[in-house]
Amino acid sequence: MEDIRPLISPNSGRFLDQLRLHIRQNGLAYRTEQTYLHWVKRFIRFHGRKHPKDLCMTDVEVFLSHLAEQRSCSTNTQRIALNALVYLYKRFMGLDIGNLAFKPAQGARRIPVVYSREEISAILAHLRGAHRLQVELMYGSGLRKAELLSLRVKDIDFGSNNIFVRGGKGNKDRTTMLPLRLIPALKHQIAHVERLHAQDIIDGYGEVYLPDALNRKYPSAAKETAWQFLFPSTKIGKDPRSGVLRRHHLHPSALSKQIRQAVLAAKVHKPAKSHSFRHSFATHLLESGYDLRTIQELLGHSDISTTEIYTHVVNRGGKGVLSPADSLFA
């Protein structure tokens, strides 16, 4: 249940606890909270565990330059660290940070790992049951792994053939397509969830985790089938906030393990990454002639430039250029 925010007393005097509370009051996603806390802690440790109020903007510049020069971090990593420290000083501490001068990271933007259609089929052939359905959804709907595992029964709309993604990256909601060929498997999975939930109720459990606001607004929703996770864990666990024993969603590591084994068995000589199925979704849509704006909306990208990376991996660079080697006589 690592994706459940731990409770923090509003009366806590700890600096990092107050920073966490400030992040939550501003409505940032839990993953953003975790990322910002990670970089703030690294910044503090880098400067000999000095309190941020005893450090200045020069210290921020030195740390960011260190990431580029000594740690050889990517441009994106340095940007994330910068965002965390800007939030710390400007939004949380209310200080004017001015224009920061630091050594920019030189790491080039990496082209995403994409599986071909044949490789997707080969990988799926080595997956069974719920794990196969999970990978088919990431590829067929463009879901991130965290979005997939956070799906509730109610998020699958067979009437409109939509999947509702709640609180995706950037804490944004969106809809994406529901592949028609997956409808029978999804109905079978929902029937499994219904049976499991009914047994949990009998055993004295059956109350799923809901964010605080929803729990207060819909006090009985936690025991309704609609709110149960589409891919529940095989075990009952203790909620770190309340101590209540409940069934959460499948742990991300379980899916990652299955993907690694399937990619190896399929003899696909590319990194075994769950995110590559999302990359493949976008790339194959682009190859099929769909426009970037449509793909951007399905993926939930805020900036079209993020989606444009896929133009670099479509067949023949998206320009229909034929290699001179392909015109040689045998």
Active site residue 218: no
Which of these is catalytic: 246, 278, 279, 284?
Answer: 278
Crossing angle of the two packed helices 275-287 and 117-124, in degrees rounded to 10: 140
Tracing tokens 């209310």 back to the chain, one arrives at 94
Active site residue 89: no
Which of these is catalytic: 20, 126, 131, 144?
Answer: 144
Q: Please tell me the distance from the alpha carbon of residue 18 to that of residue 23, in angstroms, as a whole number.
A: 9
Active site residue 169: yes
Q: Environment class of residue 220 by beta-carbon count within 10 Å: exposed (0-12), middle (13-18) or buried (19+)? A: exposed
Active site residue 195: no
Active site residue 278: yes
Q: For 64-103, b where at least 16 C-beta lie within 10 A, e where not — what string?
A: bbebbeeeebbeebbebbbebbebbbeebeeeeeeeeebe
Single-letter residue type at 78:
Q
Which of these is catalytic: 90, 275, 293, 312?
Answer: 275
- And the tokens for 160? 């409109």
Which of these is catalytic: 22, 169, 260, 273?
Answer: 169
* Closest by Cα among 278, 319, 306 to 145: 278
Active site residue 310: yes
Question: Phi and psi (nearest 5°) for 312?
Answer: -85, -10
Residues annotated as catalytic (active site), given as ranges:
144, 169, 275, 278, 301, 310
